[in-house]
Amino acid sequence: MAGGYWLGCGLRGVKLVISDAHEGIKAAVSKVLRASWQRCRVHFMRNVVAHAGRNGRRVVAAFIGTAFVQEDADAATVQWRQVADQLRPKVPKLAALMDEAEADVLAFMSFPKDHRAKIHSINPLERLNGEIKRRTDVVGIFPNEDAITRLVGALLLNRMTSGRFSAAAT
């Protein structure tokens, strides 16, 4: 089983996995890691504003965003449902999408407030992966694995020491 590989490498204590809404990832997180799953808030917002129409995107994004700034998970859930209910008469598909995604998008709200800014999205990690890809594409062919490890290691070290990266993928 593929998940056994990660557990065999010492991956333990995973509490939350953040990704797009891929059913295979969700199933693996539940079955193999026994962790909570969080739908990336940024990816969700991209999907949901597509239902708002060109002129309503900013308003809908701001309206939904009010749930993300609540003090705790209960307040966020109440606000989320109020927003969905207010959108339902004019944009029923959007409201239905919010109903369906509520628990997945708001999972990060159950963590301490100080952690939330770092765990609501995978975009910082995607930027880091893009930077690594860009740099390795410039080199093209590496003479050996050690050369790749040195380059990627230097990029990660630079990111960590510059304060643009942390263990929580800020």
Q: How confident is the model at residue 13 (pLDDT cuts 50, 70, 90)?
A: confident
| Closest alpha carbon to 3 in 37, 36, 26 | 26
Report the alpha-carbon distance of residue 170 to residue 160 in Å, rounded: 10
Residue 121 burial by CB count (10 A; 0-12/13-18/19+): exposed, middle or buried?
A: buried
In this prediction, residue 83 carries a pLDDT of: 96
Query: Which element (helix H / strand E) includes 168?
Result: none
Mean pLDDT of all residues belonging to the chain: 82
Model confidence, pTM: 0.66
For residue 36, the cross-strand partners are 16
| Cα gap 17→38, rounded to integer Å | 6
* 84 burial type by CB count under 10 A (0-12 exposed, 13-18 middle, 19+ buried): buried
Token representation of residue 143? 């003479």
Query: Each residue of 90-114: b (16+ CB within 10 Å) or e?
Result: ebeebbebbeebbebbbbbbebeee
> What confidence score (pLDDT) does residue 169 get?
39
pLDDT digits (tens, 9 = 90+) for 79-116: 999 999 999 999 999 999 999 999 988 988 888 888 87
In total, the chain counts a number of residues equal to: 170
Going by C-beta distance under 8 Å and a sequence separation of 6 or more, which residues neighbour residue 152?
132, 136
Distance of CA 170 to the CA centre of its chain: 11
Does residue 117 register a pLDDT over 80?
Answer: no
Structure tokens at 125: 């990690």
